[in-house]
Amino acid sequence: MEEGPETNEERDLIDQTDFYDEDSLELDDSMVVGDPNYIMPPVISVSIPSYDGEAPYSFDVIVEKVSGDYSKPYLGGFRHKLTSQTFHHSATQTVEMMGSQWSEDMYDHVRTRETQTVVEKTRCVQTGRECGTQMDRRGIFLDTTKDKPLVTRSSDYFTSDQLWQLRREKVLVIQTEWRGYLGRRRAWTMRETLAMRQQEEDIEQMERQEKQRESEEAEVKKRVDPRSREEFSQLYNELHTWRKSEIEKINETADTEEDRIEMMQELLERQTRVLQMIDQMKVQALRDSAHKRRETMLKLMAEPKVWESSDGKVTTVHTPFTTRANELLTLYTALTAPITTTEERLDVLLHIKHTVTEFKSLLTTNITDLVNREADLLNRGRSFKSMESLRTRLRNSFIQFMETPEYNPQVNEFLGLNNR
């Protein structure tokens, strides 16, 4: 079926255009035949006349020449009815077509008016198996020897109402199963949500109990083993509060003045014992704090020097002073470590003796005497517990040795940290 132009402009353009193909092209006397000696210039000027009274439009066209053995295919064209000007098919002017291999059957479908104005598509369908039915009639013989009669399984006819009822029953079964599945999934989701919520609550409860236990342990530790000034102040305040409450109880329960005086004396004795315990804990805390500060200072003295270069790299350097401080720190660590065997203790005492004998002073002589005395007691088989006071004196003397700038020059940088 041929489709016509859609708009008036298209109809006017087709009325002014005379399409033709290669077979129907006829040249009359008014047409100019091409000169075989004519040479196409590289650039030609084309002028398109205007039909609305305006000046013609002119432009230059660059001509691309091909080899001599190439024959430009003629693909048809059209002739303008008003100007009798002929136009070739546009495909012959493109570089892609001029450079490709051309054949006649490639463009045999572009020379008709229908193919240039209408887009059509043809589709064929062929089944994979052909079959047909021929009914018996007069004048035709059909062979029925191989025919097989087919009978339904049930003698009762299955009506459309029965089919609708069967479908309805099956749909109800499907709906029941699907709704059951949705219900089970929802219940399972709710159970998982409740289980996760319960688990989170259990974890939070455990964390709260753990924090409460840690807080209680910290409070007990503050009272049993106080370390800071605030902890001791809290103990004194609690003791003062306890004393006031006990005095109120005594005033309420005492029958006579003698009983009151006796109960006050007992309270004073208990308060004195508590104050003595607090003072002992304070002394021990001061010792531990001084020991901790001393160890921190010794570790800082033994650390290498750190310098940062201009390119951002960090360089660590051990100076003779830091090396000396590191050696003394190693001896101090071995001296304060728990004693395991007699041989190891004697080896540590020997290293200390060689270190301090490099200098001649009253302190080094005292350290040498203490080392010799402990070594003699070890060789005699004395118990470790009987030499605790001797080892304390030796440890304190060696600490004094380490904190002297004459024996440990690195101390000069830490003179502001007086740990004694």
Query: Measured in whole angstroms, how far is the alpha carbon of residue 24 from the centre of its chain?
Result: 75
Q: What is the pLDDT along the chain (420 residues), one digit of tens a residue?
A: 344 444 444 445 444 444 444 444 444 444 444 566 777 788 888 888 776 677 788 888 888 776 666 666 666 677 778 887 777 766 665 555 444 555 555 556 656 665 566 667 788 777 777 667 778 888 888 888 888 887 777 667 778 899 999 999 999 999 999 999 999 999 999 999 999 999 999 999 999 999 999 988 888 888 888 878 888 888 888 888 988 898 888 888 888 888 888 888 888 898 898 888 888 888 888 888 887 887 888 888 888 887 777 777 887 887 888 888 888 888 888 888 887 788 888 888 888 888 888 888 888 888 889 888 888 888 888 877 778 888 888 888 888 888 888 888 888 877 654 444
Question: What crossing angle do the helices spanning 388-402 and 342-356 adopt, rounded to 10°?
Answer: 40
The Cα–Cα gap between 285 and 293 comes to: 12
Determine how β-strand 86-88 pairs with β-strand 305-308: unpaired
Q: Hey, how many other C-beta atoms are within 10 angstroms of the C-beta on 170?
A: 10
What pLDDT, on the 0 to 100 scale, is given for residue 155?
63
Instruction: Tell me the C-alpha distance between 371 and 347, whole Å.
Output: 11
Of 402, 401, 397, nearest to 297 by C-alpha is 402
Domain boundaries along the sequence of the chain = 8-117, 163-224, 226-290, 316-414
Backbone angles phi, psi at 109, to 5 degrees: -100, 0
Q: Is the dihedral of CA 364, 366, 368, 371 positive or negative?
A: negative
- Could you tell me whether strands 43-48 and 86-88 are parallel, antiparallel, or unpaired per DSSP bridges? unpaired
Three-state secondary-structure class, residue 181: helix
Q: Which residues contact 238 (CB under 8 A, 6 or more apart)?
A: 223
Place of tokens 């401080």: 325
CA-CA-CA-CA dihedral for 27, 30, 36, 41, to nearest 10? -110
Predicted local confidence at residue 183, as pLDDT: 96
- Confidence at residue 209, expressed as pLDDT on a 0 to 100 scale: 93
Phi, psi (deg, nearest 5) at residue 123? -125, 135
Distance CA 226, CA 245 (A): 23
What pLDDT was estimated at residue 68? 63
Which DSSP string corresponds to 300-337? Answer: HHHSPEEEE-TTS-EEEE--HHHHHHHHHHHHHHHHHS
For 254-274, give one letter per residue: b (16+ CB within 10 A) or e. eeeeeeeeebeeebeeeeeeb
Q: How many whole angstroms separate alpha carbon 57 and alpha carbon 178? A: 76
Residue 382: how many CB atoms within 10 A of its CB?
A: 13
Q: Which residues neighbour 254 within 8 Å (Cβ) at sequence distance 6 or greater?
A: 260, 263
